[in-house]
């Protein structure tokens, strides 16, 4: 492709907070790139957005908890000629358990997604934005970022990384036309709780499931 298209890239864009952000961005004129693991869910979200807003929507199915995935996503946008001027790092998951009991591979994949992929994508697209002197980055943290979270320890710490990293990165690029923000939602009605809610041996919830609005600002 000879010309690049201004694009908003949203990880975890097929449902939940990612899809709600896509709905806010759709009327603004940028094309959208929804990224996630579930190709069917991405397609359904893209069809919904196109029908409602007559907007160009691309999808890319990839598991960003895999070590090389962020690099492959960056390569994909370059190959497709997509000019990512808005980056929304929304994809993430949590594990509710005593830290010493967590399966090491699940822990690795969570930290790879919540921490490493966020840093890698910000580095790649942030560099391009800085060179062009324009761009917007929004990283999704959590209210868990603001305090220690027993039985949610590594997840809370990963979101504390996102919060502090975002604030530092914002300072580094503020003189180059690039803004970096961080959204820290509270408990939100998404699929997150379907995978993270857990009870101990007595039946007590390790993390009390609570439901809030679809999108918490």
CA distance 63 to 69: 7
Of 60, 125, 151, 155, which one is the catalytic site residue?
A: 155
32 and 26 Cβ atoms separated by less than 8 Å: yes
The answer to whether residue 125 is catalytic is: no
The catalytic residue positions are 155
């Amino acid at each position: 492709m000879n010309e690049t298209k201004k694009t908003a890239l949203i990880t975890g864009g097929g449902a939940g907070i990612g899809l709600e952000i896509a709905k806010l961005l759709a009327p603004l004129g940028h094309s959208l790139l929804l990224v996630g693991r579930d190709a069917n869910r991405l397609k359904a979200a893209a069809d919904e957005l196109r029908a409602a807003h007559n907007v160009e929507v691309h999808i890319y199915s990839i598991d960003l908890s895999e070590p090389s995935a962020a690099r492959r996503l960056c390569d994909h946008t370059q190959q497709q000629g997509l000019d990512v001027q808005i980056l929304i790092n929304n994809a993430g998951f949590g594990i509710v358990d005593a830290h010493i009991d967590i399966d090491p591979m699940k822990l690795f994949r969570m930290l790879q997604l919540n921490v490493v992929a966020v840093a890698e994508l910000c580095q790649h697209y942030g560099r391009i934005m800085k060179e062009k002197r324009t761009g917007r980055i929004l990283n999704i943290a959590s209210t868990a970022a603001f305090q220690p979270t027993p039985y949610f320890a590594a997840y809370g710490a990963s979101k504390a990384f996102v919060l502090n990293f975002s604030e530092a990165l914002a300072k580094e690029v503020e003189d180059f036309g690039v803004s970096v923000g961080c959204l820290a939602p509270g408990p939100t009605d998404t699929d997150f709780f379907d995978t993270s809610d857990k009870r101990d041996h007595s039946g007590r919830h390790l993390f009390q499931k609570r439901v809030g609005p679809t999108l918490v600002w």
